Amino acid sequence: MKTIIVLCALFTGATIYVTVANKNSKQMTTRQKILKAFYPLIMKSGKKASAANVDKIQPLVDFYSYTLLLNDSSQLPLSSLKGKKIVLVNTASDCGFTAQYEALQKLYDQYNNIVVIGFPANDFQHQEKGTDASIASFCKKNYGVTFPLSMKGVVVKKEQQEEIYKWLTHKNFNGWNDQAPTWNFCKYIVNEEGVLTHFFESGVPPLGKEMKEALGLDR
């Protein structure tokens, strides 16, 4: 069927938006089509800072003591993931990095020893306004997401911050890292023993060299 594409570029700093109207789109707003169309360029300009636990500092609070409430109201005890590497990512449906869902799903599908968990949050420019049900539907229909998604919550440092993000972003919990997400799609890696090993900003691709090295996939 015929696809109509309308391009309208707007430059704000290093961010580029494109309007794409596609009658075959699944469940995307015009803004979401815009961002997906220009995702490769957005990735080139995204922040790529990272941090690593080079001294192998152990956590002060047990990572496996937490239980996540997923967006289907089920519970996921993190103790059930012992022996696996875990990638924890704060997500949003209306962000320039939303297309990372596709690569995160590939990571989850291709490696049995890696679990990806998404944490939808509306903390950055109100880019996740949906309900838990609409978020799950959007992710499944547009990116085939089957990895766990938590209930929508707060990942930045404020009173309502999710408990697991308090652990990820306070060194008096995880042992060394105080870095909170700087934007949507920041990644934290926890190893098979419940130790926080890495933090990556949004511009680091889920299947890029840095992430693969951190996950031990290039060995």
> Contact, 195 vs 189, CB < 8 A?
no
- Could you tell me if 65 and 155 lie in one domain? yes
* 95 is an active site residue: yes
Mean pLDDT within 46-70: 95
Q: What angle do CA 14, 15, 17 make, to 5 degrees?
A: 145
- Could you tell me if 40 and 146 lie in one domain? no
- Could you tell me if 41 and 81 lie in one domain? no
d(CA 135, CA 94): 11
Mean pLDDT within 16-29: 50
Does residue 203 form part of some domain?
A: yes
Does residue 2 form part of some domain?
A: no
Q: How far is CA 182 from CA 34, 72, 108, 126, in A?
A: 22, 27, 24, 14
201 half-sphere exposure, CB direction, 13 A CA radius: 13
- Could you tell me if 113 and 31 lie in one domain? no
The answer to whether residue 16 scores a pLDDT higher than 70 is no
Does residue 173 form part of some domain?
A: yes
The answer to whether residue 105 scores a pLDDT higher than 80 is yes
The answer to whether residue 45 scores a pLDDT higher than 70 is no
> Contact, 122 vs 155, CB < 8 A?
no
Q: Which domain holds residue 131?
A: 50-214
d(CA 178, CA 171): 5
d(CA 25, CA 101): 17
- Could you tell me if 112 and 71 lie in one domain? yes
Residue 210 CB contacts under 8 Å (≥ 6 apart), including other chains: 48, 50, 200, 204
The answer to whether residue 15 scores a pLDDT higher than 80 is no
Give percent above pLDDT 90 in the chain: 77
- Could you tell me if 85 and 34 lie in one domain? no
Helix (H) or strand (E) holding 91: strand 85-91
d(CA 167, CA 61): 8
Mean pLDDT within 148-177: 98
Mean pLDDT within 34-61: 83
Query: Residue 43: pLDDT band by 50, 70, 90 thresholds?
Result: confident
Q: How high is the pLDDT of residue 48? A: 85
Domain count, the chain: 2
Q: How high is the pLDDT of residue 72? A: 95
Q: For the purposes of burial, counting CB atoms within 10 Å of the CB of 2, is it exposed (0-12), middle (13-18) or buried (19 or more)?
A: exposed
Does residue 5 form part of some domain?
A: no
Does residue 4 form part of some domain?
A: no
The answer to whether residue 10 scores a pLDDT higher than 70 is no
Identify the CA nearest to 27 among candidates 101, 88, 87, 90: 101
Q: How high is the pLDDT of residue 38? A: 64
The model's pTM: 0.84
Identified catalytic residue from 8, 95, 139, 186: 95
Q: How high is the pLDDT of residue 219? A: 57
Give percent above pLDDT 70 in the chain: 84
Mean pLDDT within 140-154: 97
- Could you tell me if 69 and 156 lie in one domain? yes
- Could you tell me if 34 and 120 lie in one domain? no
